[in-house]
Amino acid sequence: RPSVWWLLVTTVAAALAVVLALVALQHQREVTRPVGEGDLFVNDAREGAHSVARFIADGDSVESAVKRLRNQLNIEAVAAVSDGLVVAATAPELVGVALSNPVLSFGHESQRVTAIAVGSPTQISIDGVAEWETGDVLYQVHQPSVDGGPSLLLFYDVGELLERRIRTTGIAPLTLQLTAAALGLALVAAMLLIGRARTVRRYRELARESEMLHRHATELTLTNVALEEARTQAEHALAMAEETNRIRAEFVLMINHELRTPLASVVTGAELLQMDADLSEDDRKTIVSDMVTDGNRLYGMIAQMLAVARIENRGFEFDLGPVRLDVLCDQVEAAHPRLRVDHSGASHEVVESASVRTDAQTVAQLVASLTDNAFNHGASNVVLECSAELTDPPMLVKGSLPDNAIYLSVVDDGPGIDEAFLPRIFEKFEKKSFSSGTGLGLYLAQMMAEALEGAIAVHTSASGTRMTVALPVIAVANPVGASA
């Protein structure tokens, strides 16, 4: 977009060039136009009257003033007239001569410019040399008084007057000056226009280059973003792969230890029963009992790993339906003989007859998994509590807590969970180094809780851990002993 200053300068230069060209043309027309006598003597008479008045005002005498005017106009003679008589003249012979021509007399009386070609009233000399005799025809012009000066009488040689009418046809100096100025301004305007055109073209080229660079910069930015995302994904994938390899290695070591220990116990017990016939009946019973315990432990770990693999591949296969909480507690207690259900407390009485939307067998497995986890991590006593609200504020929640829920809390007296390890307890194969098990118990419990449309909330301290399962409730019956 052109600037205001550029438009202003270009317009002014072009306008001045046009004006100067027109003035030069008009001046040349004026200087080359043929003029008539009137143009000459009227202009000479008017300018002469003003000049004489100025000379006299500057202190010159009338005689000196008319002599200066004659030299200025370069004519035959100049005379000052007062009351019809010549009072001063460049030719002494004219002083005291009266205006005898009627035309000139009329002009003097009426104060008008008059002119006539008529014989000279007397001899006229220039610088003491007689140039004109009495009766020689001269062109005489009368100019009235101007600015307080005298009336003037101008004498022209008719032949010279005719020569002055023919002006030169060459170019006047002023015309040349005006034309040169007009050409200079036109050149300035043209240079501004050309410069502007080149500037606009260059600006458009720069704009295209800038747009191209901006497009390339945008593409590079997008490429860098994509590369950064790819790098981040690659680093994440690498970290996941390294973590997977670490977990796999630890899992292999854990399986090697956890499976070999009960399996070695079973094999050892079987070999003792086979080879040592002198064993007492009590020893045999003890060995068989240990073998059964280790076998069940081995079976439980294998069953747990198979359950995780089955759930991850095919998901859970059960139907959610209404289950009374007292029935559910009986199934949970029967599923794990070391778990004690706390039937005391008003809260338990309120929720004991409640119905929840769940699958009883899955809940029993879930609570059993939490109970095994508690015993595996050093708990001596594990209690199941039922309540209508969370007893302790949760420090970690897995799943979505239902708006209306019944809470089954597995409470142990173990050493608690380390605060730094707490965020990872529900991850696959994560477990404390000193604890037994596969590290799949809480991972399996989380999947079961989420499948039951519930959640698991964890609160832990140095005096024990509370794992609370939240199940969506359908209805709560009146507490025992309450009136309808």
Give the lowest-confidence range in 317-321, 353-357, 411-415: 317-321
User: Does residue 43 sit within a domain?
Assistant: yes
Mean pLDDT to the nearest integer, 70-91: 88
Share above pLDDT 90 across residues of the chain, in percent, rounded to a whole number: 10
- Calculate mean pLDDT across residues 79-105: 89
What mean pLDDT is predicted for residues 431-453? 73
Predicted confidence (pLDDT) at residue 424 exceeds the cutoff of 80: yes
pLDDT at residue 212, rounded to an integer: 92
- Output the pLDDT for position 484: 30
- The angle subtended at Cα 393 by Cα 438 and Cα 356, nearest 5°, is 75
pLDDT tens digits, residue range 214-268? 999 999 999 999 999 999 999 988 888 887 777 667 666 666 656 666 777 777 8
**Is 95 a member of any domain?**
yes
Quick one: pLDDT at residue 309? 66
Q: What is the CATH number of the domain that holds 157?
A: 3.30.450.20
Residue, of 303 and 65, whose pLDDT is higher:
65
| pLDDT of amino acid 345 | 52
In a domain, 178, yes or no: no
**The domain boundary residue, chosen from 125, 144, 166:** 166
User: What is the mean pLDDT of the segment spanning 59-79?
Assistant: 89
Q: Is the pLDDT of residue 354 over 80?
A: no
- pLDDT tier, 12 (very low <50, low <70, confident <90, very high otherwise): confident
Of the two residues 42 and 305, the one the predictor is more confident about is 42
Judged against a pLDDT cut of 70, whether residue 344 lies above it is answered with no
Task: Please state the rounded mean pLDDT for residues 129-134.
Answer: 83
d(CA 28, CA 20): 12
What is the pLDDT at residue 437?
60
Boundaries of domain holding 386: 318-475
Average pLDDT for 404-424: 87
Which pLDDT value is given to residue 115?
85
Q: Is the pLDDT of residue 198 over 90?
A: no
Which of 132, 166, 200 finishes a domain? 166
| 59 within domain boundaries | yes
**Does the structure show a pLDDT above 80 at 63?**
yes
Q: Determine, yes or no, domain membership for 469.
A: yes
Domain boundary (166, 184, 203) is at: 166
**Would you state the pLDDT for residue 351?**
57
Q: How far apart are CA 62 and CA 212, in angstroms?
A: 87
Is there a domain that residue 115 lies in?
yes
Please, which pLDDT band fits residue 79 given cuts at 50, 70 and 90? very high
* Cβ atoms of 28 and 171 closer than 8 Å: yes
| 99-103, 227-231, 344-348: least confidently modelled range | 344-348
Whole-number mean pLDDT of the chain? 79
Average of per-residue pLDDT across 51-74 = 88
pLDDT for residue 483 is more than 70: no
Q: What is the pLDDT of residues 154-185, one digit of tens each?
A: 888 877 776 665 554 567 677 788 788 888 88
> Is 423 domain-assigned?
yes
With 70 as the cut, is the pLDDT of residue 478 above it? no
Q: Would you state the pLDDT for residue 223?
A: 92
Give CA separation, 339 vs 115, 295, 410, in Å. 151, 21, 9
Q: Given this model, what pLDDT does residue 284 score?
A: 79
Residue 252 lies in a domain: no
More confident residue, 250 or 374: 374
Average pLDDT over residues 73-77: 85
pLDDT of residue 40: 60
Q: How many structural domains is the chain composed of?
A: 2
Q: Which CATH number is 403's domain given?
A: 3.30.565.10
Average pLDDT over residues 332-350: 68
Name the one residue in this structure whose structure tokens are 């986890």: 373
